[in-house]
Structure 1
Amino acid sequence: MQISYRLAFGVALVLLVSGGVARAQHDIADVVDSAKRGDLETLRDVIAAGADAAAVSPDGATALLWASYRDDIKMAGWLLTVNAPVNTANDLGITPLWAASENRSAQMVALLLENDADPNLALLSGETAVMIAARAGSEEVVRLLANAGADLDRSATRGQTALMWASANHHSATVKALLEYGADVHRRSAMWSQMMAVPPHSRTKRDIPHGGNTALMFAARVGDVLSAQHLVVAGADVDDVDAWGMSATTIAAHGGHTKLVDVLLKHGADPNAAVAGVAPIHNAVMRNDDEMAAALLAHGANPNITLETWTPTRRASRDLHYPAAFVGATPLWLAARFARVDIMRLLIDHGADPQFVHETEYIADGVYEARTERTTTLMAALAMGGSSRFRPWVPYTDSGTAESRTLAAVTLLADHGVDINAADLVGQTVLDEAEAKQYESVVTLLLERGAGNP
């Protein structure tokens, strides 16, 4: 009898406790789900019946977080009157303020800050509200957060800051706001190295430094002229280089951002910056951008500066890069190699040497053999040097167009005295190559100029 009584009491206790737990879980679900659905009427009823406004769902979300996410000002305001916690974060570290900042909702951000939201709480990966507001491009939210004491120079993944994110996303007004509140224009992102390669990938590879970018370099990467101007006025060094040694001008030129290159040059950027081995003029040539090349040359770019390194590319991509076969080339040789005739003339007018001879050693793609080449600029115009397999980002041209461009390039170089009978290391001449390509107009010109009669 005694045992039966105790057993019955124990069962009753378990049922009571489990019932209470179930009720608590039900209340949590009612509170959070009502907010998630945007159902303010049900939410009020549930809390009036005794549910806790601070209820947290299994993923850490609160009713206020969902109200902020939905940008429901009315619901958020009411929740704050019933003491909903303003700084509770979900499992990822997202707070109501962070969600509002991502939404670019100045009204919600202001409401939360007025109720003691902490502007410096961050996600588990480090991103703060001001960082996400900068990336979203909300100048007004950034100003609200800055006035509330947000740390503008806090960094997250790979050491990137709000100023860098705004610069990388073309948010020039946000960049200006951050600078006005004292964001550090000299901060750099984290640095690391990564094994990278060019074809043939198993033979030509090395550790490439990454990172070390300032906000100006992020702006240069995307060609954001207005952000770059704000940054330079605020004291950004136009000749800073990244971890590899690429300057903002070189980065902008690589991206084909002509207007930004011009802006940087007008602010005193070095047109010959080539710590990493690539100069802006090389990129202007490869982009076939005569306007950019003219600006660089007008500001003192060296028309004979040689390419000192290969640059990596993604496998099978059409990325603009420099294969190992191009190392040691001058801008004129590169321009001839891709028949950039207008740029060739521009370079020669600024002192480029037509008599330059490119000497290089590399592992050839496809055949995986060591090659040594010695090619003139005239040979380059017939695509004789620098890996015949390489033209990945150059737009396709029909044979007629290719022949006419080659003819113009050959004529220009021959007019400047380049030897038309010179032979490469395997005995091939430009006449041999023109005949092999069946470029009849080029063959005719070369014969008229004395090719084959050394």
Structure 2
Amino acid sequence: MEAARSGDPARVAALLDQGADARAAEPDGTTALHWAARVAAAEVVEHLLAAGADPERANRYGITPLALAAESGEPAIVGALLAAGADPNTATPAGETVLMVAARTGRVPVLDRLLAAGATVDATESWRDQTALMWAAAENNADAVRRLLAAGAGVEARSGAGLTPLLFAVREGHIDAVRALLNGGADVNAGVNNTTASTGSYTPAATGHTTPLALAIVNAHYELAATLLEAGADSNAYDARGTLLHALAWIRRPGSGRPPAPTGNLDSLYLARRLLAQGANPNVRIAWREIPFEVDLGIVKPPPNISVGRNFISFVGATPFYLAAKHADLELMKLLVDYGADPLTPTGQGVDSADGGGRPGVLGRRESGSAQRHPRARAARGTEDDPRPRQRPACGCRLRRHGDRRRRGGPAAAPPAEPAGAGRAARPGRHALGRLHGAARRRDDGLEPDRPVPDRAGC
């Protein structure tokens, strides 16, 4: 066993001549043939097979010598094991075949041997229903992708999660594998279906889906996204989170942390310009459903609809410009306006970019959305008919009955007239008056001696 692990053919031959059992195994079922295939020792494999080693024996984990040979990538060993009777379709307990192992490592000569021996090209795992082509695409083995496509692999096959080989390659940012799949006939707009989508209205559509282009954008693979656009990707594709322009506005968010680093030489603003130049609509509105928390419809509520307080602002009905304004993304805002975006399109709450979407200073915003909605904030700023702020009673106290009168709708007591020439400095401080009020109450209870107190008519 140790001689096979070290790949020493002379020592293995000597031990076999002395009567060593070529079929002996370790406690976990691993044989000398496993080790020889693992270390790519072709001569050791030949000695062991000649001495009667079993090429089909799997260890405790379901791994055969052929699978280890495919992983090591030595076609001569793979050919020897196949000639000795190894099954090219042997799979692990999870359903991973030897062809999948070879596709993952990208060894085309090994793929040739396995396919010639009858390996099933579109076999799927029992765990996630992934095929050998999906493995090759996810590992950017473009040559393996082309070889499997030539052998008839399904270019539009889907995993258990609904991903195609193209989506696997796009998610990882593998532009070479993407080009190989597109040249092999992959649909550039075939995505993962969603239940809710973004349209021009608030009625969720069942046709929205995450396309390869959307997947490239959310993972900051902008150069790959440009390649997909050149191949005919739909610039107006949408899913449950909005359009591609919405996605770029979410990703950029200046001042809200670092965006994901692009994997190529292009940036997000360049891609936004490309999308708009190819006809992306800058005025499409998000159509997420508003789902009350007390109602369980079996629909997952998207994160932007999660309420976090009374000043919560929903993004249902938001345009890409609204999202850009919310994060004060001036570059994207200017670009969207140049291509026809309406800055004042409101959300489903009736809030537009000038009201509550952006930050102070963006679009000349007068006050925040929460300040506009809060009744106390409006009262403190006055009204259009009476722009003067509401005044406190002249005594400056905060007795509860002042607030109670306002809450009950009754008229608040008018403050007493201030003597001519008296200014703020002429009146005692609020805290001093509060102490005098307290002293007056204690005096009424007989706890304090009589002494002058201010007139409380204003209270």
TM-score with structure 2 setting the length: 0.65
User: 2:119 and 2:74 mapped to 1: Cα distance?
Assistant: 17
Map residues 358-369 of structure 1 onto 2, 5 A cutoff.
358-360=347-349
Q: Distance in 1 between matches of 2:41 and 2:180?
A: 35
Match of 1:246 among 184, 203, 210: 210
Of 289, 304, 327, which aligns to 1:323?
304
- Indicate if the aligned counterparts of 2:56 and 2:64 stay in contact, CA closer than 8 A: yes
What is the match of residue 297 of structure 1? 276
TM-score (norm 1): 0.66
Kindly indicate whether residue 184 of structure 2 is the aligned counterpart of residue 234 of structure 1: yes
1:3-402 to 2 correspondences below 5 Å: 32-156=1-125, 157-190=127-160, 211-244=161-194, 245-288=209-252, 289-309=268-288, 323-324=304-305, 325-360=314-349, 374-377=351-354, 379-382=356-359
Residue 73 to residue 258, structure 1, CA distance change in 2 (3 Å): same
Question: 2:72, 2:315 → 1: CA distance?
Answer: 48
- Partners in 2 of 1:258 and 1:121 — Cα distance? 40
SS at 1:159 equivalent:
coil
Taking structure 1 as reference, are residues 216 and 377 closer, same or farther at Cα in structure 2, changes over 3 Å only? Answer: farther
Q: How many residues align?
A: 327
Instruction: Confirm or deny: 8 A CA contact 1:273 1:279 kept in the other structure.
Output: yes
The share of aligned pairs that are identical, in percent, is: 37
* Comparing 77-86 and 180-189, the one that deviates more: 77-86
Task: Please state how far the C-alpha of 1:322 moved relative to its aligned partner.
Answer: 5.5
Aligned partners of 2:152 and 2:17: how far apart in 1?
46
Larger Rg: 2
Q: CA deviation at 1:129?
A: 1.2
Q: In the aligned structure 2, how far is the partner of 1:223 from the partner of 1:251?
A: 10
Amino acid paired to 2:44:
M
Amino acid at match of 1:236: A
Distance in 2 between the 1:294 and 1:375 partners? 23
Where do 5+ consecutive residues of structure 2 fail to align?
A: 195-208, 253-267, 290-301, 306-313, 378-386, 388-459
Unaligned segments of structure 1, at least 5 residues: 1-31, 191-210, 311-320, 361-372, 383-405, 415-419, 433-451
**Counterparts in 2 of 1:117 and 1:423: CA distance versus 1, 3 Å:** closer
Deviation at 1:243, TM superposition (A): 4.4
Change in Cα spacing, 1:35 to 1:423, as seen in structure 2 (3 Å) is closer
Mapped to 2, the partners of 1:106 and 1:291 lie a distance apart of: 45
* Contact 2:282–2:321 (Cα < 8 Å) also in 1: yes
**Matches of 1:342 and 1:263, distance apart in 2:** 24
| RMSD of aligned Cα (Å) | 2.7
Partner of 1:264: helix, strand, or coil?
Answer: helix
Change (3 A) 1:72 1:359: same
CA 1:327–1:173 in 2, change beyond 3 Å: closer, same or farther?
farther
CA distance, structure 2, for counterparts of residue 307 and residue 164 of structure 1: 32
In structure 2, the residue corresponding to 1:427 is in which secondary structure?
helix
More strand by share: 1
Once residues 74 and 377 of structure 1 are traced to their aligned partners in structure 2, the CA distance between those partners, rounded to angstroms, is 76
What's the CA shift for 1:216?
A: 0.8
TM-superposition CA deviations, 1:286-311 (whole Å, max 9, x none): 3331111112112221111223349x
Cα distance in 1 for partners of 2:23, 2:354 equals: 75
Structure 1 residues 40 and 358, CA gap change in structure 2 (3 angstroms): same
- What is the CA deviation profile of residues 236-264 of structure 1, one whole-angstrom value per residue up to 9, with x for unaligned ones? 12222214331111111111111222222
Amino acid at match of 1:255: N
